Amino acid sequence: MIEAYKEFWKRYVDFVGEGTTRPKYWWVFLVQAIIGVIWGIIFGILAAFGSSNGSINPAAVVWIIIGVLYILAIIIPQWALTARRIKDAGLPWGLVFLNFVPYLGGLVVTIFTLLPTKNTASNQ
């Protein structure tokens, strides 16, 4: 899990390199989900202890900024990871742009990430 996450950051702009296997893709997904849950719990705790006058806790505002910066930091690496996973499934990596299609696009891309690895010479 940790190795997959390290590779996620090392190959953060590699859209067309060697594909990413299903386990590596989903390990990164799990790490991102765990980070999101931990972030949410800490934010909930900070927000619950707001100022006495009803305003939001300044620490919660800082925590929101940290969360937004983290999300901005992972956008491109996440797209690259998804593109490599789609490529590993034997499909053109450009299909990652289906994510821009409302409603169904993200579902289709998720289905593509679930496909098994294709061992073809054109995939390398």
pLDDT tens-place string over residues 11-46: 888 888 788 899 999 999 999 999 999 999 998 888
Say if CB 112 and CB 89 are below 8 A apart.
yes
Say if CB 80 and CB 96 are below 8 A apart.
no
Question: pLDDT confidence of 122, banded at 50, 70, 90?
Answer: very low
Query: Cα–Cα distance between 12 and 79 in angstroms, integer?
Result: 9
Residue bearing the bigger pLDDT, 112 or 48:
112
pTM of the model: 0.82
pLDDT of residue 30: 96
Task: Tell me 56's DSSP state.
Answer: P
pLDDT (mean) for 87-108? 93
Q: What does the block give as tokens for 6?
A: 């390290």
Neighbour tally for 82: CB within 10 Å = 23
**CA angle, 87 then 90 then 91, to 5°:** 65
